[in-house]
Structure 1
Amino acid sequence: MTDVACFNSFRRLSPVHQALATALLISMGALGGCAGAVIGGGAAVGTAAYQERGIQGVARDMATATRMRTKLLDAGEGYVTGIGVEVFEGRILLTGALLSEDMRAQAVSMAWKTDGVKDVLNEIQIGNSSLRDLATDSWITTQLQSKITLDKNILAINYFIETVNATIYLIGVAQHQQELKRVIAHAKNINYVKQIINHVRIKKGAS
């Protein structure tokens, strides 16, 4: 994968997960290729330990996401720029917008054929987004990430957030139902949000 493609994929992550990705790349000794394009700042490997998945689980999901992004890059610019990829516990969430049903079907097929994928959550929209839409989506994601990070009753590092055309997509793991309700409540209180699609699971054994 080229440095530009790596950086674009890295840029789609939230600030929390950018730090985590950097830490894992350092811990695995991946100092060339993608790592050289994104490493910067003082991230700590210990960040991954706070996630329910642990360091090894995070590393597996990152490797799966990288394999999928490589396939999208090989498929063409329309795929790599149009699709967002998040992987959590082998569940791959595809978001974004493509121009046709055929392109969406092809993207889903690529996901199912990617090593490490256990389930495919297809949330790809058909159409495109204006620059204004993209700016609004980025603002919404940043607002929600900030709100849940500052909420002491939410373990924000266990959540991934994508926003496409004012629809928020959530994936990750909640400590319990009340925590998830708080996350969704924060999302509902953000301006311009049209819909919230939840793929977050509740932690096993949670009351």
Structure 2
Amino acid sequence: MKFVAYAFIALSSLVVLSGCTPTVILGGAAIGGVAVAEERSVGTVIDDATIKTQVMNAIFQKSEPMFTSTSTTVIDGVVLITGEVPTPEDRITLARLIWGVKGVKEVHNEVKVAGSGSGGSFASDSLITTKLKLKLLGDTEIMNINYSVETVDGTVYLMGIAQDEAELQRVKNHAKEISGVRHIISYVKTK
């Protein structure tokens, strides 16, 4: 299971770093391999990847700064968007763009408006996310491949599919142990 996760990360990096057709084919194979390892079907993983690509493209077309200051996760057609934008209108624009993408079933807009009391930094949020992902990877009682983690201003956002409530609680407990975590918001579904 862990090997599949490592393979996916390696192959995904190739997709991002290269525009070559063979790399895209490998990326597709990695998506298929991950789908076999996690709870979603291959078709659902492909649909989610398509939705994510379309959402990211729509945001990029609207505003490059908005694109670079936000992060998107898609699981089973449910979109979680995090990050920070300059105005409340930008936050609403993001929601409208996402709802305009075919296949989106639900939107969790956790984007913060700059200057609205948020004081977290990108570096500390990235460190929290990395620490939590490593803890999940090292815990043999958690199917870590089923979880997506984002951190914004010390708030950890979880998405994915838990095997049961006990597994989800283990994930939350790992998050609570990390210095700098202020809140944990879970959009995880139980199997």
Among 142, 156, 168, the alignment partner of 2:130 is 142
Deviation of 1:19 after TM superposition, in Å, equals 4.4
Alpha carbon RMSD of aligned pairs, Å? 2.9
Deviation sequence 1:4-37 (CA, Å, 0-9, x none)? xxxxxxxxxx9786347469x7xxxx944x949x
Report the TM-score when normalising by structure 2. Answer: 0.84
User: Unaligned 5+ residue runs, structure 1?
Assistant: 1-13
Question: 1:16 and 1:125 mapped to 2: Cα distance?
Answer: 33
1:37-186 alignment runs, 5 A limit? 45-127=32-114, 133-186=121-174
- Secondary structure of the 1:178 match is helix
The size of the alignment, in residue pairs, is 181
Compute the displacement of 1:77 (Å): 1.7
Task: Give the Cα separation in 1 of the matches to 2:189 and 2:58.
Answer: 27
Shift of 1:48: 2.3
Distance 2:10 2:48 in 1: 15
Moved over 2 A (4+): 14-23, 42-48
Return the alpha-carbon distance in structure 2 between the equivalents of residues 20 and 121 of structure 1.
28
Deviations 1:150-171 (A, max 9, x none): 1010000000000111110001
CA contact (8 A) 1:96 1:123 kept: yes
Q: Percent identity?
A: 34
Residue 73 of structure 1 contacts residue 80 of structure 1 at CA under 8 Å; is this kept in 2? yes
The residue identity in structure 1 corresponding to 2:67 is V
Q: TM-score, normalised by structure 1?
A: 0.78
- Deviation at residue 115 of structure 1 after TM alignment: 1.2
Give the whole-Å Cα distance in 1 for the aligned partners of 2:30 and 2:80. Answer: 25
